[in-house]
Structure 1
Amino acid sequence: MTCASCVSRVERKLGKLDGVTASVNLPLESARVTVPAGITDSQITATVEAAGYKATVRVPKVTLEPAEHAEHVAGGVASGDHPPSAAAAKLRPRLIVAAILTVPVFLISMFPAFQFPNWGWAAGILALPVVTWAAWPFHRAAAINARHFSSTMDTLVSIGVTSAYVFSAWQLFADPRMTDHPAGMEGMDSGGLYFEVAAVVTTFLLLGRYLEANAKKKAGDALKALLNLGAKDATILRDGREQQLPADRLAVGDLIVVRPGEKIATDGIVVEGSSAVDASLVTGESVPVEVGPDSPVTGATINTSGRLLVRATRVGAETTLAQMGRLVSQAQSGKAPIARLADRISSVFVPVVLAIAAATFGGWLLAAGPAVSNADLRAAFTAAVAVLVIACPCALGLATPVGLLTGTGRGAQLGILIRGPQVLEDTRTVDTILLDKTGTVTTGHLAVDGTAAFGTATPAEVLRLAGAVEDASEHPIARAVAAAARLAERGHDRSGADAGVLPAVVNFRSAPGGGVQGTVGGRIITAGRTGWLQENGIDPDAAQLAAFSCAEDSGATAIWVAVDGEPAGIISLRDTVKPGSAAAISRLRGLGLRPILLTGDNAAVTAQVAAAVGIAPEDVFAGVLPDGKVEAVRKLQAAGATVAMAGDGVNDAAALAQADLGIAMGSGTDVAIEAADLTVMGNDLGQVAQAIELSRRTLATIKTNLFWAFFYNAVGIPVAALGMLNPMIAGAAMAASSVLVVANSLRLRSFGK
């Protein structure tokens, strides 16, 4: 395929099959075809061949579509059946030969100093390989299209180049003596030779197509790099022995040994060991993530420190990396609504241009009057050829898909997945964004916010004793208290290996939902809720109860700490705000969005979080159940808002689907990711703002491409028809327009750097 006309024709042919819809992508040279159960692969490929192209069917390993409605990807190229990576290599020898032969043809034809007797014959002989062998890709595609009563940009090029050469040869044969003297410019005035036009136009167009092929390969490099991130081999533990095997042979349940510096071969759960994992290749976040037993890990991330033993939970096409590749590929092979306009125009563009070229030729002859001179004939011919060459709709066909290809590829590198081209349009119109609190604005993990002490006890002593007894429990609150106590110990004691180690606990016992108790350094430590203290015969006084109530009213989760039967203090815990949330919300405001905080938590907690990140009190919805989140989205939509929703949990999935733009945080559940339009693989709210910025930048790039593609043809064709454009300049301009569109799209590769 070479232009938007090719795309349109393949789509129309496939669309004539009952129940079939197809979206053809020019730079990827592929088609995503949705078919009913009764359509076979051979029918699809036969239909593509009937349109004048070749195709093979690639059936995805895992189909996410319902059984009665399958999707296939057909890949193929009109003239040569080769992928974009090989297209440049095939064009290179033709371009080199064309350039070598065109230089002398151009010099001989245009500069009298290089001319000699009968130079026209030499120019014709040198130009012949250029307009035949070098231009063969254009002629071959034009011939195939003609057999199917169709036309594309290759038709325009082939007719233009052939006409220039044949007209010149006819002039030379009609008057063999027209260049028998060095002062050939006078001869040209009386005869008119266009060998240099045919050669130069061919060379420029080959150069343009060669540069396009290289640029399209670069545009697709991001997806290729993403899919190559995965580990090639894995070390597994079987029967107590380690053995190597290819990563694609891993099975669910395999125990994988991951040493420091190695990539984690597949998604899994840490069974043994602790380490910091560099997830930047997948999430785009530079800060390593601490993992330990029961921590989930993602394939293609890098183990930076300790040895890990990981149990595989997903392999092959089910891994996060494979799902990312699938989402990016689907987005790149789709079409933004704005691209449909280009397709509709290109479907009638070439026949209209052929008619304009014929009308131009006829119009010039009519304007010359009854007595048509050679000069009049030359002027008419030059204008008609210039129209054919300047009008080639290459840039039109590349404007949208190359921009989409580059933008989604860059997004994948940043950990941002754009589900489809429609999302680009949606990001432009959203004006309100609903943010789930837990896991989106906050970390989703409790952390000690403060410690209050009673009597002679100190806050540090209360935290240390509580941490020692809580360290024996697996409860999330207990883990948070123990972690804070260890951190405090480490801060107070930097003397050596024992820094951060808590005192031992004996006679430990716990009650689910109540608290814990144990002996630390000969003292009985009791920690937990009010009922747990009362159950153990401990009764706080009125002032202590008031302090506890105050802590809870502030939105914190509070627990008592008692020593030897007497209340010693209170520890407050909160779900902490992510460090970048306030800055991210400021960025969202800068994008013209109104941020609204939505959560099932109580009003006190939510108000505090909203104040910390800069969300207005009137934009806080607290105590909202999952079905209430959907209702909140609908209510805003009914009021005229275009709503985006960012969330990460199962309870957010319905609201993500209801929103005009659903944004899933990649640290969340598969259900949330599946329901969303945009997915950020990290857990930083700043990536949500970055995702919207990238989507809008990609859409703006596509619109710029389309504007210049339309503007170029709208201006170029009338100028050429008026005889104000040399065909050689037209050929250079046409090639340059395609390269300009691709180069403009490639600027997206630097987004976020």
Structure 2
Amino acid sequence: MELAVGGMTCAACVGRVERKLARLDGVLATVNLATGRATVTHPASTPVAELVAAVERAGYRAHPVAPDTPPAPPHGDVTDLRRRLAVALLLFIPLADLSVALSFVPSLRFPGWELVVAALALPVVGWSAWPFHRAALTGLRHGTTTMDTLVALGIATASAWSLWSLAVTGGPLYFEVAAGITTFQLAGRYFEARARRAAGGALRALGALRPAEVTVLRGPAGREAEHRVAVAHLRPGDRFVVRPGERIAADGTVVSGAAAIDVSAMTGEPVPVEAGPGDEVVAGTIAAGGTLTVRADRVGEGTRLSRMLRAVQDAQAGKSAAQRLVDRVSVVFVPAVLVLAGLTLTGWLLAGASAADAVVRAVAVLVIACPCALGLATPTAIMVATGRGAELGIFVTGFRALEAVHAADVVVLDKTGTLTTGRMRVTGVATAPGVAEQELLALAAAVETSSEHPIAAAVVARAGDGPLPTVAGFRALPGRGARATVDGRDVLVGRPDAVGEAGPLAGQVAEWATTGATVVLVSVDGAVAGALAVTDTIRPSAAPAVAQLRAMGLTPVLLTGDAPAAARHVAAAVGIDEVHAGALPEQKVELVRDLRAGGRTVAMVGDGINDAAALATADLGIAVGSGTDVAVESADLVLVRDDLTVLPAAVRLAGATIRTIRGNLAWAFGYNLAAVPLAVAGLLDPLLAGAAMALSSLLVVSHSLRLRRQV
């Protein structure tokens, strides 16, 4: 299940929530800072209320959410931050100008100038900074520390020292430091929240594809009435109406009607797909130019759209090994910084510095060391990458998939349904002397109309829409063909070994066989009347995709259960040199294992049930989205567009994501390693520290957002 967790601001918060949940028996939790979600695995005996209470005991808000609900945009947070930032800027700018002027030109000081400075600063360090103080007090109440503890302590220390100086000692004032830290931190939080909202926009757009209501047909056959109901009430087997411009509410099969289906929002494909009786349609797509009656096959969380959304959210919740290390470090980082700030204060006092200087340097340590950039380094990149992938028609099911795509050096591709469309068509017709081509096609189609075989559908399609002869006594010959009486003549349509010698057509049949085509002979009353060549059409995008993979340094391999001749023909057409044909499912698994044993990192691309085991065995399983549910469930990455060039796009996206994460972590770690010693040494002003810390988080998020333009 999932919990939406509110109030988290840094990686230390993430670790704290995870630890609190893990203390419950049998509970495992993964918390994501960027999405504000906790993915929780728990025994059925553990009530949800107990999980929520555990999070609240850690000092955060929580409530359960539906598993396929995209994270809500942080509108409230953004609005509140913008309001507090506006007040802070309005007062801090004149405060900073006044403080600088009076510091450098003492003659400008006027009676009561200290009170004016205090009046400008106090609303900033009080009201504008309240989110930091509130979070710090909440943590203190629960015996915890977070990034907000450091910020609030820095603001409070500078403010308290200034008030003490104003009221008692007449020493230097640091109101502008406290107000500056507040302003810079609010600015960082505000722009970070806006960037995070933009990062999750693609996923929320996908979530919005589900309609709220659907028109269901209810009542006796022939007298059904339309009822408008919530989509949640739709059940498998229900028939529903989709009018022009409406979104399809469930995965289903068209019962009647015809329409062009706009699939662009789901797959990015700009060309509508025609759908009619018997065609499958998916939830989230739009009917245009016609009305459909659809039988619901999969509804709710069972639809492909919901499963894809869930996969993306799981990917965003997942963590790399580097991010898990960051979470562990952040848990102890904040207490360590508090100790370091105390040592800095003590050390400077012992070294003879004034109390004011020692306090300022301790404040600089508190502010500069906040680990928020570390907490955002990985999840923001994953969030942007998965959202961008969804826009391209690439659904990533985990961080492991991105790492594996980036590392892959061999791509094993299935043939039927992957490199080819999986739709058979008649590409050649040869007739015996005295037999007309249309007559041959009409006889063959008349027999095949009663068969459900893909080859039969191809023969019927080639014959056209005209009337067919009368058929009687149809009999299927499994694995060999079909037989029937057509207008009183015995017609057999099937493989050459079922029909017999090809006679005068033997030369043509042999030529077709060398190209990998499936040859179908048609005999009438025992004599061969003609032959048909049936082929599976190669995807237009297959050859460009293979060429791009080669250019990236990957080795493509064709692995299929089809005959060697057909496999070699497809391989030559798309540019693949290594071919393994006639492979059973267990032999596909064996080849993948052999490649991995040889030190290769293998990505397997397939679409069928017979590919599922190999997909699960490979370092990375990639399913073509038009494939079977079993293949899709076995994969780490799903390509939903009917275009193989999204495969090299996925490789580019993975590479860019890994590079972005590494850059983010290098910056976040490097920033803290370099800045903290400067602050301890007294070489970093608290005002600059606040600006630098806010800027570090903003840079990490902005660097991640660049992924939307890189692929």
From 222, 228, 252, the counterpart of 1:244: 228
Asked if residue 649 in structure 1 is aligned to residue 608 in structure 2, the reply is: yes
Q: Which moved more, 1:32-41 or 1:91-100?
A: 32-41
Question: Counterparts of 1:414 and 1:61 in 2: how far apart (Å)?
Answer: 20
How many residues are paired up?
Answer: 692
Q: For 1:256 and 1:23, how far apart are their aligned partners in 2?
A: 39
- Correspondence 1:153-168 to 2 at 5 A: 153-168=147-162
Cα gap change, 1:133/1:327 in structure 2, threshold over 3 Å: closer, same or farther? same
State the partner residue of 2:4.
Answer: none
**What does residue range 254-265 of structure 1 map to in structure 2 within 5 Å?**
254-265=238-249
Shift in Å, 1:632: 1.4
Indicate whether 1:213 and 2:174 are aligned.
no
Which shows bigger deviation, 354-363 or 411-420?
354-363
Q: 2:14 aligns with which of 4, 7, 17?
A: 7
Q: Which residue of 1 aligns with 2:36?
A: 29
Aligned counterpart for 2:206 among listed residues 196, 215, 226: 226
The residue number in structure 2 matching 1:351 is 335
* CA 1:463–1:596: 2 relative to 1, 3 Å: farther
The 1:469/1:57 distance shift into structure 2, 3 A limit, reads closer
1:576 corresponds to which of 537, 556, 563? 537
The 8 Å contact of residues 596 and 602 in structure 2, kept in 1 or not, is answered as yes
The alignment status of 1:555 with 2:521, answered yes or no, reads: no
The C-alpha deviation readout for 1:557-581, integer Å capped at 9, x for no partner, is 1123568986554321111211101
Q: Is 1:104 aligned with 2:94? A: yes
Letter in 1 for 2:517: A
- Greater shift in the superposed pair: 353-362 or 471-480: 471-480
2:173 equivalent to 1:193: yes
CA distance in 1, matches of 2:152, 2:489: 95
CA distance in 2, matches of 1:528, 1:674: 35
C-alpha deviation, 1:730, in angstroms:
1.6
8 A contact 2:10–2:147 mirrored in 1: yes
Q: CA deviation at 1:3?
A: 0.8
1:108–1:115 contact (8 Å) kept in structure 2: no
For the residue of structure 2 that corresponds to 1:285, the secondary structure is coil
How much does 1:470 deviate? 6.3
Aligned-partner Cα distance in 1 for 2:110–2:490: 112
Deviation at 1:378, TM superposition (A): 4.0
Determine if the alignment matches structure 1 residue 711 to structure 2 residue 631: no
Is 1:335 the counterpart of 2:294? The answer is no
CA distance in 2, matches of 1:444, 1:4: 48
Describe how 1:101-140 pairs up with structure 2 within 5 A: 101-112=91-102, 115-140=109-134
CA distance 1:218–1:540, shift in 2 (3 Å): closer
Deviation at 1:746, TM superposition (A): 1.8
Alignment of 1:499-538 (within 5 A): 501-502=465-466, 504-506=468-470, 510-513=474-477, 514-515=481-482, 528-530=494-496
Matched residues in 1 for 2:39 and 2:471: separation?
Answer: 65
- Report the CA distance shift for 1:167/1:287 in structure 2 as closer, same or farther (over 3 A): same
Q: For the residues of structure 1 that align with 2:556 and 2:214, how far apart are their CA atoms?
A: 44
In the aligned structure 2, how far is the partner of 1:336 from the partner of 1:598?
Answer: 31
One-letter code aligned to 2:548: R
**Correspondence list, 1:350-499, <5 A:** 350-368=334-352, 372=353, 376-455=354-433, 469=446, 472-475=449-452, 476-486=454-464
SS at match of 1:55: strand
Change (3 A) 1:595 1:232: same
Counterpart position of 2:573 = 612
1:61 positional shift: 9.2
CA distance in 2, matches of 1:206, 1:230: 36
Pairing 1:276-295 to 2, within 5 Å after superposition:
276-295=260-279
- Residue 560 of structure 1 aligns with an amino acid whose one-letter code is L
In structure 2, the residue matched to 1:19 is 26
Counterpart residue number, 2:167:
173
Summarize deviations over 1:551-603 as a string: whole Å, max 9, x none.
23432111235689865543211112111011112222233322211111111
The alignment status of 1:203 with 2:167, answered yes or no, reads no
Q: 1:163 to 1:600 in 2, by over 3 A?
A: same
| Counterpart residue identity of residue 98, structure 2 | I
Measured against aligned partners, the alpha-carbon deviations of 1:384-416 in whole angstroms (never above 9, x if no partner) come to 222221111111111111111221122223332
Residue of 74, 77, 97 corresponding to 1:87: 77
| Aligned counterpart, 2:3 | none
Helix, strand or coil: the match of 2:599?
A: coil
How far the C-alpha of 1:275 sits from its partner, in A, is 3.4
Q: Which amino acid aligns with 1:443?
A: T
Instruction: Work out whether residues 91 and 121 of structure 2, in 8 Å CA contact, stay in contact via their aligned partners in 1.
Output: yes
Distance 1:83 1:557 in 2: 54
- Paired residue for 1:179? none
CA–CA distance in 2 between the matches of 1:467 and 1:712?
75
Question: Residue 506 of structure 1: CA displacement?
Answer: 4.2
Contact 1:108 1:119 in 2 (8 A): no
Within 5 Å, give how 1:58-97 maps onto structure 2.
58=65, 60=67, 84-97=74-87
More moved, 21-30 vs 286-295:
286-295
2 CA distance for matches of 1:261 and 1:516?
A: 45
Q: CA deviation at 1:612?
A: 0.9
User: Helix, strand or coil: the match of 2:30?
Assistant: strand
| Structure 2 counterpart SS, 1:2 | coil
Q: Report the AA paired with residue 87 of structure 1.
A: D
After TM superposition, the score normalised by the length of structure 2 is 0.90
Root mean square deviation, CA, Å:
2.9
CA contact (8 A) 2:412 2:603 kept: yes
> Would the aligned equivalents of 2:417 and 2:607 in 1 still touch at CA under 8 Å?
yes
* Aligned partner (choices 617, 630, 635) of residue 594 of structure 2: 635
What is the rounded CA distance, in whole Å, between the counterparts of 1:413 and 1:428 in structure 2?
A: 20
Deviations 1:458-512 (A, max 9, x none): 8x657765676468454432331343354xxxxxxxxxxxxxx546534576442
Aligned to 2:5: none
> Post-superposition shift, 1:249?
2.0
CA–CA distance in structure 1, aligned partners of residues 131 and 91 of structure 2: 18
**Counterpart AA for 1:313:** D
**Shift of residue 123 of structure 1?**
0.4
Preserved contact between residue 278 and residue 287 of structure 1 (Cα < 8 Å): yes
- Greater Cα shift, 278-287 or 162-171: 278-287
Q: Distance in 1 between matches of 2:483 and 2:621?
A: 42
1:658-669 equivalent positions in 2, closer than 5 A: 658-669=617-628
Counterpart check, 1:315 vs 2:279: no
The separation in 1 between residues aligned to 2:287 and 2:155, in whole angstroms, is: 59
Residue 673 in structure 1 maps to residue 632 in structure 2: yes
> Quick one: distance in 2 between partners of 1:167 and 1:717?
22
How far apart are 1:527 and its partner, in Å? 5.1
**What 5-or-longer segments of structure 1 have no aligned partner?**
63-72, 76-81, 177-190, 487-500
Identity of aligned residues (%): 49
AA aligned opposite 1:411: G
Q: Name the aligned partner's letter for residue 81 of structure 2.
A: L
- CA 1:423/1:196 → structure 2, altered by over 3 Å: closer, same or farther? same
Residues 444 and 522 of structure 2 are in contact (CA less than 8 Å); yes or no, is this contact kept in structure 1? no
Paired amino acid for 1:43: E
Shift of 1:625: 0.7
Question: CA offsets per residue over residues 332-365 of structure 1, 9 Å max, x none?
Answer: 2222222012112212211222233233333334
Q: How big is the shift at 1:7?
A: 1.0
Change (3 A) 1:17 1:720: same
Instruction: State the one-letter code of the partner of 2:172.
Output: G
